[in-house]
Structure 1
Amino acid sequence: MRLRVGILIAFVSALVLVGCAASPTLPQTVGTAAPTPEMSSSATPTPSEPPTVTVPTRFFDGDCAAVLTGAELDDLLGEGWTTFDDYLAAVDGIALPDPLPEGTLGGLTCRWVANEVSSSEVHNLSLLLLPVDQVPAEFLDTFDAKRCDPSYDTSICRLSRSVDGVWIMASPPYYGEGSMGEPSEAFLDRTIAAAAAGVASRGGAPVPATRTAQWWTLPSCEEFASHMRFDELTEGGFESGYWEGSEQAEQSLMAAADVSKDCPYYSSSDRLAPDEEHRIFSVSVYPGGHWMWDVILDGGVDVELTGARAAVAVSYDEHLVNVYATDGVNVVVAGGAEGVEFAADVAERALAALASG
């Protein structure tokens, strides 16, 4: 199972109608008439619209194994490193289908984990590569200097560089003082330089998906909740926001680029009825994300949802489940520890709310 889930331009053609007015009768003049110029038999071609791209072309064709060489990863992480996907499957025994909103922009996210006895500066390492013209302006310079921000019980240190039309961000977590302390800016620069060299030699030319009128418009999470009629699911309603933690920079970037929106919700403790369960769940929206359907999903159980061309439930234990649904153009994911029935209900409500605009 595959793990790790531009600003896009809609082209509108304008038809210009040119009216011809009748010319007044002119007095005839005596003299030799000028020869009539010959008319070309071939009409001037009309420029055609660029083709609509529904399946983007990603850096390295989406293959993280091609981004850094084994020798480069040995140098950065030490011998015995593994991909994050393999690490997660080995440690937790599960594979998490993870949507790829950066891919809609032609981008790629890759992650590796160092051996636990490695002397590397970092325990694991993430790289985000995007065409620089697909990065929202407010993010282009945000991480020009290393910045470490909270992420649940740790911090993530980020540094970005724009190199030959490619925006690259390196972002290892920082767990505190010790052998896996805060990574140096020099280490992050070295990582970015290696990735930039890989892009230049074998990264290919990314092509973002083309935004169309069928792409969902990203709502605010509060407005989204209202349209999903959560008041029908619980007497006390749900709060919009994180029960713990906060939105991460990558999530904010993808939302600003209009290719994904993560909306977490949880039961209001103040208004929770005595006979109701406390719930924590999320709804994630991926406009134009149907291209990733077969990339991230090769398992799960089919479920029937009104408004969905296809829907799949992937369970991690008795209660933890994600329901993935597509209308053939976009993708929505509803998940949490509330079971299949609840997640499917939320996904169906999300489909209806998004379809109504």
Structure 2
Amino acid sequence: MNTEQLIYTLALQHVPNIGDITAKKLIKSCGSAEAVLKEKKQNLLKIDGIGSATISDLFNSSHIVAAENEIKFIEDNNIACLYFMDNDYPERLKHCIDGPIVLFQSGNINLKEKRIISIVGARKITTYGIAFCEKLVEELAVFNLVIVSGFAYGTDITAQKAALQHNLQTIGCLAHGLNQIYPKTHKKYMVDVEKHGGFFTDFWSTDVFDRTNFLKRNRIIAGLSEATVVIESAEKGGSLVTADIASSYNRDVFAVPGRTTDLQSVGCNNLIKYQKAHALTTPLDIPYILNWQLEGEKKPAVQKQLFVELDTTEKVIYNYLKENEKQQLDVIAINCNLPIFKVSSTLLNMELKGVIRPLPGKLFEVI
């Protein structure tokens, strides 16, 4: 987008009471951010879900002034601005309803045809967590994946340093503008990260750094990736929020189980216990569940048994999948009029019989 269009888009982003979901609704209704800001108030109020309180400050000229000032910072610091409707905007993030309308980028990020996972976890990571995280990145490096994290203490920086060690791209999603870095002790890693990846944020250089920013930042960590991995977590923590967001985006979540007596494993154990995450006991669980293959590697031929006997429930699910192709577990349950727990166990049995297979995104299809 050109500079004028970017100014209007940033101005819209700057308006209080208008978040990304509402901004996208307005843009799609009017055609552009410029059209939104030039539209008559009575016409905007006709848009479903738009009330007078939402747009009460929309036409304040201070938003254009603020956007023009931010443009100067962006240009002076060679920052890329990715608009949510453009081709260079991260593909997976396009499918997130609350993805930012503008994403700021520094560095040399290339996400084209890349496998991407997010790795999050405790800031006070244990030696066990560090060892598992480093082994995870080391063994998955053959897939030339991208490692996304939050560039924070503990798990985040462990994962990103491991990515650099194995010449993988790594992306730090920041909870502040690109005019600063938190924590300051991680400034020494910035050059290497920008050389082998970079940073994303939707915060401005003028935004006040606040701890609540981390929660907003977490949606970008979850949205960029095919799957989110939680290495360690206490009973409550930001990484669990990221896992919940990833799940809401219908992305796979993995959690590393730990001893029941370890406080930093309570969160991961609960994710597994409540079936919110796959148990990650070995790095190879990820390519298996996500159905990854190495470049040039042929997909192993599946020998489907002839005359496989299916029970009544299996036949219902098999016929549904055969007619509707790839479907998610909960969709199968609804359309086959079966409880989810029954569908889950039946799908496992059918997989063992070689008649269906799991796919990324919690999908299943007939072989």
**What TM-score do the two structures reach when normalised by structure 1?**
0.26
Structure (1 or 2) with the greater strand fraction? 1
More helix by share: 2
- Structure label with greater radius of gyration: 1
Q: What TM-score, normalized to structure 2?
A: 0.26
**Higher normalized contact order (CA 8 Å, seq sep 6+, divided by chain length):** 1
